[in-house]
Structure 1
Amino acid sequence: MSHPKAMNLRFPDPAQRAAIEAAARQEGVSLQEYILSAAYARATAVEERFLDAFKESMSRSSEAFAEGASTVDPSAEQRAAELKARREFEEQQERGHAA
């Protein structure tokens, strides 16, 4: 198997290099292609794991926000009561300044 100069492949362990070369031969690809394919597969697996964890986190967050929304976002009746109370308060303030 020839070793193209396009990619510098150094292996401190000759047995490791021999094992990788044997695996590449078995797959019928060059050493570079085998290593790049393995690196791509690993990066893709890491990315998928990250995305799965991110989706799970988003799901938990949306559930937490949905639970909290009922206490944060008041009902129409509560908003109406708050507006009425505010108007009454402002009217009292105006009367207080007029006196």
Structure 2
Amino acid sequence: MTSSKALNLRFPDPGQREAIEAAARQEGVSMQEYILRAAVDRATAVEKTFLAAFQASRARSGEAFRNLTELDPSAEQRAAEQAARAEVEAPSQGHAA
């Protein structure tokens, strides 16, 4: 079994192949290298877009969580919530377990 390191560069559109050949020649690289560089450049651009969106999302989330500290319930509200929880969690009387 032989392994080929070259890409199989078949193009259904001859004009596309000519354009890529011309661009590769202009940069002084093989078609294979030109195509691989373009693929890496494209993947890097997608990654940068994703990371920018992720960082913006993190900033929004961080801001939302910072605002939660301002929503701290009052002592009366906490006491009412604790009483309601105790009432719900209290074992029912008259029922067998």
Letter in 2 for 1:49: T
Displacement of 1:5 in angstroms is 6.3
TM-score normalized with structure 2 length? 0.68
**1:37 aligns to what?**
37
Q: Provide the C-alpha distance between the structure 2 equivalents of 1:67 and 1:5, rounded to a whole number of angstroms.
A: 56
**2:60 aligns to what?**
60
Greater helix fraction, Structure 1 or Structure 2: 1
Letter in 2 for 1:34: Y
Displacement of 1:6 in angstroms is 1.4
- Using the aligned pairs only, state the percent identity: 63
Letter in 2 for 1:19: A
Q: Provide the C-alpha distance between the structure 2 equivalents of 1:19 and 1:65, rounded to a whole number of angstroms.
A: 52
TM-score normalized with structure 1 length? 0.67
**Larger C-alpha radius of gyration, 1 or 2?**
1
**What are the ranges of 5 or more consecutive residues in structure 1 without an aligned counterpart?**
87-99
Aligned length: 76
- Cα RMSD after superposing both structures: 2.4
Alignment of 1:1-99 (within 5 A): 6-72=6-72
Letter in 2 for 1:53: A
**What are the ranges of 5 or more consecutive residues in structure 2 without an aligned counterpart?**
84-97
Displacement of 1:68 in angstroms is 1.1
Q: Provide the C-alpha distance between the structure 1 equivalents of 2:11 and 2:61, rounded to a whole number of angstroms.
A: 45
